[in-house]
A and B are shown apart, each in its own frame.
Chain A
Amino acid sequence: MPEIKVTPLGAGQDVGRSCILVSIAGKNVMLDCGMHMGYNDDRRFPDFSYITQNGRLTDFLDCVIISHFHLDHCGALPYFSEMVGYDGPIYMTHPTKAICPILLEDYRKITVDKKGETNFFTSQMIKDCMKKVVAVHLHQTVQVDDELEIKAYYAGHVLGAAMFQIKVGSESAVYTGDYNMTPDRHLGAAWIDKCRPNLLITESTYATTIRDSKRCRERDFLKKVHETVERGGKVLIPVFALGRAQELCILLETFWERMNLKAPIYFSTGLTEKANHYYKLFITWTNQKIRKTFVQRNMFEFKHIKAFDRAFADNPGPMVVFATPGMLHAGQSLQIFRKWAGNEKNMVIMPGYCVQGTVGHKILSGQRKLEMEGRQILEVKMQVEYMSFSAHADAKGIMQLVRQAEPDNVLLVHGEAKKMEFLKQKIEQEFHVNCYMPANGETVTLLTHPNIPVGISLGLLKREMALGLLPDAKRPKLMHGTLIMKDNNFRLVSSEQALKELGLAEHQLRFTCRVHIHDTRKEQETVLRVYSHLKSVLKAHSVQHLPDGSVMVESILIQATAHSEDPGTKVLLVSWTYQDEELGSYLTSLLKKGLPQAPS
């Protein structure tokens, strides 16, 4: 029985390192290859040893697909391709391919900076990995091999994020990655056509939430920054090199322009330029508004935001600084934090999640006295704010996507078990489809009923049409013919053509049956009685009396002979082909009942 198998190695009932294995019609695909930033050891990567216990990874996996550039979706990729040894194709969209290495590089540098870790991928490995990546366009059907094809759809969420359809023959699955069903300041809403996949694998981060608009959060953010700067304080915004940083830069830039503010805004990494370059390069991936205004004013060319120098941190007066890394666990952001933490006029805004074991996590959980090196205590007097700007579909959005795609089954990943449970019930109730939520390491197996395309020969079609059966798109029609398999294709042809193509000779198979009836008359007379009886009973059929003395009903032949031992008994020899098997059996049973009395 054909089946689709799904095993999450990560993102099964959690929001960690996404890595989902899908097996569809014998093809094996890995969806995302993320890392968990909460661990510093092997646990940060998915356990790839479970992919295949036998043979080489490259032989087993047909391809890897990366949905977007966030590290929990692509962070383990260089490890997987350069250290574990996967050497097959990797697919992602053009913007993801461009931005992915920046984030991987950024993370590598932080990891090495922090601990001097040696068992980590190198810059060269990131490059070698990216050279294996095949970039795809939206809505472009990419043929991975003769049987497997993939297609990307717009997902919103971040620049270049895509949902992927995976198709083998008539079986298909869609993986959403992270997506957003409402447009935001610079990206559009996710969209997919009514592709009716066998399975929709969707993220469910906000499975139970109906989120307030992102605009509210943005207004709140600007208000807080503005108030701090107005009272002469400094604002620190720890960010990762790319993504949220650009979003917030656009926000502040526009606000500064509108309010005619003078306080300097700095960006501490040298990566803004490159990031902005990509936002410009992939302008078609942003939303309509940005594309329109791009002609008048390029949103990614900042007038107010300048490069940061280490010495600026000691300057008096207000300022806003974007500094990496985003969780305050090393480098510049941590150094600036140490300098500014003691002043209550200052503020730190954490625009994203912080894992345990970072200073960011500590201050977000309300800790105000932090132990520093050498038993020194740092008293945090500055204001600490958390603001989530992550753009995921909420419960309403997820339902909307299911409605749009019309899948046969839904599978939830990238969310929490409890929330998933709620959404699962809702989906099952509303759409009457099965919904699954496997934990990491658990396999869901779905049976599919694939359509097998069959070609019909022109000759056969013509013959059917000659019988008056004109083709009608709305009505399925029953066709008779011989099904032959040639060159891995099925074709329905007439039996004569099948014989010809396969080089076979025709043999006819006839069923025979002897019916004994009591009749003292001569054989010819008995036959005549049979003929008139059948003629009267089988009005819809052609009943003929042949010159050789036999009776023929369709393909059924009836002959009468005298019984060798009992002249009063006649033996009716009935024979028919398999096409008339039903009629043959009926006729035999009819004859067995005997003939009506002849009129005297």
Chain B
Amino acid sequence: MDIECSRLLPSVCAVLVDPKQFVADDTCLEKLLDWFKTVTEAESSLLVLQENPCLTELLFHVVKLQDVNSNILSFTLRLAGIFAAHENSFQYLQQGEVLLSLFSEAGPLSRPAWEDPSVRSGWIQGVGSMVQHERAVQFLCDCGAIDVIFSLQGDPSLFVASTASQLLVHILGFTMHSRRAVPLTTQDCDWPVCARMIVGHIEESLRSGTVPQITQALNVLTTLFGRCHESWTEVLWMRMNPFVGSLLEKEPLLAAHSLVDLFLSMARSPVFSHLECDLWILSTRALNRLSPTQSGPLALGILNLKDCPQTLRTKAFNILLQPLACVLQAASQPTGSPGLLDESLNDSVITDILLSSKSSCAGLLCQTLAHLEELQPMSHLLIDWPHVPLLSAVMTILRFCSGLATPASSVGDRLCGILIGCFRVQRSALDFLGTLSQGPSPSELIRGVVEILLVYLKSPDSSPTVLKKAFQATLKWLLSLSKTSTSSDLCPQTQHFLRDLFPILQKRLCSPCWEVRDSALEFLTQLTKHWGGRAGFRQALLSSEVPELAEDLLRDPESYVRASAVTAMGQLSSRGLCSNPIGTGSKNDEKKSLFLELLEILSTDSEGFPRRAVIQVFTEWLREGHTDVSKDKEQFVTKVLQVVSCDLDWEVRVQGLELALVFLVQTLGQHETECPYAVEMSSVTQSTQLTESLQMLCHMKLFDFIFSALCDCDRPVARKSCDILLYLKAKLAHHGSLQGSGEACTESLGTQNTAWLETTLRKWKARDQGQPSEVADRGDCQEPDDVLEVLRSVDLEGLRGTLAKSSDHIEKSPQSLLQDMLATVGILEENEADCY
């Protein structure tokens, strides 16, 4: 702890214990605790206590105060816990029995303040911090704290109850870990006292027959088996097994979700993952007993395991497939396609759920689809992943939802009535359909997929969220189709799809809903990115009005759409797929017109998103050597930076610097590498080239932009500028250009800050303004020497270190926190309840 903090601490403690004073901002107390935690971890906590007696006094004082503010009491409990975590501090505090007064039943438990959940939370967190050594555990057992923790498991506050359960796990784990050497049996006498108490409590809870208690006990076991993988947990399970097993026999089944969590937590533990473990029997029994919505997560968890008995996996997989099998069966004609499951379905329960109400039907289907979607990437591990029937099932669901299906059975009829227009199921089904693009699908089914996707993309009833998913699924299918085709161009099926797709895309680009226009543009960008070079795609695109419509959207009233249109147009232009503006002449002019249009957006758009998109497109064009940009790179960069330098959005300025960096690298070459085999040019040639390059860069006013960015009030801009200048410095130093000519230069080497730079920049400006107008017009505001002087003088390395810190690192320091707490007392009371 630094001296200044030590000096401030007594006053802060005095404020905290003074009931007349008021600490307005409870975040201060939280941050103060964060700091104490750091301090006690970094140095001896006992020394901190001894050197700052105000801390112990604070604890004593709060213990004695009868009418203490609950926030302060809670803070004190947590503070005591942080110090008591270290054995010597624990003993130190115990000498005065302060811990007993805080954590035993005679402490806050008996006070009215205990009614406040923040106090109970403070108590339990304090205890939690403390349990780092055996003495603390012994202390908790002796003072009755363990029983308090048991009772807090049922606390009305979720936060307290959950922390209490986690604390029991921590204490049990800690106690057993320290007894590792002693062999263990299920006999009670073998277990340490504290562990015996906890295990006894869990057993009692499991026997209780009341749902909250059973849930608490199961949650403790779940967390324990999840966190602790030591061998004693197996002995513990031997004790728990009969109780848990009997829960599975109960009618109705209690705490089903918690049972699922327990089995999955155990299944993931290496202690229980061997194939002889009775866990698998229980899991199988659970799969039989649980309702379809409850068994889904268990089945998914089992299938995600690396090792488990094959019969269980098969059962789990069948459970996941059942709802979809039911849908397929409901839809199928008597002589229809094969179902999802070979075995005869005992589907009455599932049918009941699917037909009982819209929400239960949607709930079960969405859950199943999401689970299968999660499994799909592992489908190669599942021997019998029924790709084709699953595809049929999801398409059936999508047909039901859109009212396209003509089910043959009465169940299908009713299902269709329930699902029609259900956006929730449509979204899940489209997500899963997209995922199924990864797999071998027969061509007649692909035709079906294409048809259904077109239906959704075309449907006027599709909501924007459904349309977005439809676009995403379409993209996945299109890309997978191109992967399977062997030729370099698109297969006829895809060509056909595209022919149908573009008119729909045109319509969607004109949607009155901005979300739809935006999703359509994003889709176009992605498709162009992947297929921009394929003749079939180019032909289909250019024969549609899509490029013109996309260009029109550059003037969309919604900024998000303008930004997406910019990105799309940037991509189209890169691939030479730009539209022909009406009434323009040569191709050359067309490209220029897009550049000017984007430049216009960059300089005038009132919002950041489109401007950011433009500068990103420009950077990309420069990076990839867009033909039109390459013609006159200098002019392109100069024009863009001229606009960017005035931008109010710092992200645009940062991206502008990125563009400058790309240009610099293209002009001066990559960062220096120490490649021994590199062909070196003669130093004279290089030096001449560098001087010429510098002249050119000065002429472009590139350094104006970079230097003023170094003084920018927005940290990321200054940081980026600093990085560029360091690159330049390294580049120039390598070739000796930075070696000063006089003594004065070496003296000021790397010592100046940005204030000096600002003054220098102002000086240059004044100098330029004083020059004859023709010189100023030429733009020679700086000479290479000026640039070299800046690079020589400014302490760029130091600056980089400063800029790497957060801009509020001083305000965030502990010293600042303590000062704020002292300054705030009584003053901010009036403002405390204000909000943003």
- A and B interact physically: yes
How many residues of chain B get a CB closer than 8 Å to chain A's CBs? 75
Across the interface, which residues of A come within 8 angstroms of B833, CB to CB? 15, 205-206, 415-416, 419
A186 interfacial contact with B, CB 8 Å:
no
Tell me if A55 and B808 are in contact (CB < 8 A): no
B269 within 8 A of partner (CB): no
Chain B 334-362 interface 0/1 with A at a Cβ cutoff of 8 Å (1 = within): 00000000000000000000000111001
A115 contacts B806, C-beta separation under 8 Å:
yes
Q: A294: shortest Cβ distance to chain B, in Å?
A: 20
The stretch that binds A, out of B394-402, B405-413, B548-556, B646-654, is: B646-654
Q: Which residues of A contact B363 (CB under 8 A)?
A: 59
Binds A, one of B143-151, B157-165, B453-461, B698-706: B157-165
A362 and B158 contact, Cβ closer than 8 Å, known pairs A116-B716, A123-B609: no
Q: Are B157 and A178 in contact (CB under 8 A)?
A: no
| B810–A441 CB distance below 8 A | no
Any chain A CB within 8 A of the CB of B376? Answer: no
In the complex, which of the residues A40, A132, A442 contacts B157, with contact meaning CB atoms closer than 8 Å?
Answer: A442
Bound CA–CA A164/B606 (angstroms): 33
A240, B835: Cα distance in complex, Å? 13
B823→A362 contact, CB < 8 A = yes
Q: With A270-B608, A356-B817, A367-B819 given, is the CB distance from A329 to B835 under 8 Å?
A: no
Q: B153 at the A/B interface (Cβ < 8 Å)?
A: no
B-chain residues with CB within 8 Å of residue A443 when the two chains form the complex: 156, 158
Q: Residues of B contacting A15 with CB < 8 Å?
A: 833-835
B31 at the interface (CB under 8 A from A): yes
Q: Does B56 contact A (CB under 8 A)?
A: no
With A7-B158, A371-B810 given, is the CB distance from A145 to B827 under 8 Å?
no
Q: Does B607 contact A (CB under 8 A)?
A: yes
Within 8 A of A (CB), among B812-836: 812, 816-817, 819-820, 823-824, 827-828, 831-836
Which of B20-28, B198-206, B493-501, B539-547 is the interface stretch?
B20-28
Check B359–A356 contact: CB distance below 8 A: no
Query: Can you name the residue of chain A whose Cβ is closest to the Cβ of B832?
Result: A416
In the complex the two chains form, is A115's CB within 8 Å of B158's CB? Answer: no
In the bound complex, residues from chain B placing their C-beta under 8 Å from that of A146 are 357-359
Which of A127, A441, A443 has the most chain B CB atoms inside 10 A of its CB? A441
Residues of B contacting A568 in the complex (Cβ-Cβ under 8 angstroms): none
Tell which of B156, B515, B808, B820 touches A330, judged by Cβ atoms closer than 8 Å.
B808
Within 8 A of A (CB), among B641-672: 646, 648-651
Q: Which of these, A131, A269, A353, contacts B831 with CB under 8 Å?
A: A353
Q: A365's contact among B427, B464, B646, B827, by CB below 8 Å, is which? A: B827
Judged by a CB distance under 8 angstroms, whether A523 is at the interface is: no
A109 to B649, CA, bound (A): 9
CB < 8 Å A-B pair total? 206
CA distance A417 to B118 in the complex (A): 11
B714 at the interface (CB under 8 A from A): yes
Find out whether the CB atom of A131 lies under 8 angstroms from the CB atom of B465.
yes
Near B by CB (< 8 A), chain A positions 364-422 give 364-367, 371-374, 386, 388, 390, 414-417, 419
Task: Indicate if B491 sits at the interface (CB-CB under 8 A).
Answer: no
Is B424 touching A88 in the complex (CB atoms < 8 A)? yes
Q: Is there contact, CB below 8 Å, between B366 and A59?
A: yes
A87 touches B28 (CB 8 A): no
Chain B positions within 8 Å of A50 at CB level: 158-159, 162
Bitwise interface map of B from 629 to 651 toward A, beta carbon under 8 Å scored 1, else 0: 00000000000000000101111
Q: Is A273 an interface residue (CB 8 A)?
A: yes
Which of chain A's residues 30-81 have a Cβ closer than 8 Å to chain B?
Answer: 36-40, 43, 47, 50, 53-56, 58-59, 70-72
* Residue B560 interfacial (CB < 8 Å): yes
Cα distance A88–B827 when bound, in Å? Answer: 44
Given contacts A55-B297, A59-B366, A386-B831, contact A270 B606 (CB under 8 A): yes
Residues of chain B contacted by A240 (CB below 8 angstroms): 836
Contact across chains for A114 and B834 when beta carbons are under 8 A apart? no
A132 to B835 Cα, complex, angstroms: 27
The yes or no answer to A331 lying at the interface (CB within 8 A) is yes
Of A36, A89, A416, chain B has the most CB atoms within 10 Å of the CB of A89
The residue on B at minimum CB distance from A276 is B606
**Least CB separation from B651: chain A residue:** A109
Asked if B619 is at the interface (CB within 8 A of a chain A CB), the reply is: no
> What are the residues of chain A within 8 A of B261 when measuring CB–CB?
53-54
Within 8 Å CB of B370, what residues of A? Answer: 56, 58-59
- Residue among A146, A205, A416, A443 with most chain B CB within 10 A: A146
A residues near B31, Cβ cutoff 8 Å: 356-357
Residue A573, interface by CB 8 Å: no
**Cα-based distance from A268 to B649 in the complex (angstroms):** 11
Smallest CB-CB separation from B611: which chain A residue? A270
B167 to chain A, nearest CB (A): 16
Q: Are the C-beta atoms of B834 and A54 separated by less than 8 Å? A: no
A525 within 8 A of B: no
Known: A59-B367, A371-B816. A442 touches B835 (CB 8 A): no
Nearest Cβ distance between residue B587 and chain A, in whole angstroms?
Answer: 33
Complex-state Cα separation, A352 to B27, whole angstroms: 18
Q: A270-B606, A334-B713, A353-B836 are in contact. List 17 more A-B contacts (CB 8 A).
A: A15-B834, A40-B812, A72-B835, A87-B427, A88-B424, A109-B650, A114-B715, A116-B806, A326-B836, A330-B807, A332-B714, A352-B836, A356-B25, A357-B31, A416-B833, A441-B158, A442-B156
* Residue contacts A-B, CB under 8 angstroms, 5 given: A109-B649, A112-B716, A145-B424, A356-B820, A440-B117
The 10 closest A-B pairs by CB, nearest first: A335-B713, A441-B159, A38-B27, A365-B823, A54-B257, A115-B806, A270-B648, A353-B834, A273-B606, A441-B158
Interface residues of B (CB under 8 A from A): 25-28, 30-31, 116-118, 156-160, 162, 219, 257-258, 260-261, 297, 357-359, 362-363, 366-367, 370, 424, 427, 464-465, 468, 515, 518-519, 559-560, 606-609, 612, 646, 648-651, 713-716, 719, 802, 806-808, 810-812, 816-817, 819-820, 823-824, 827-828, 831-836
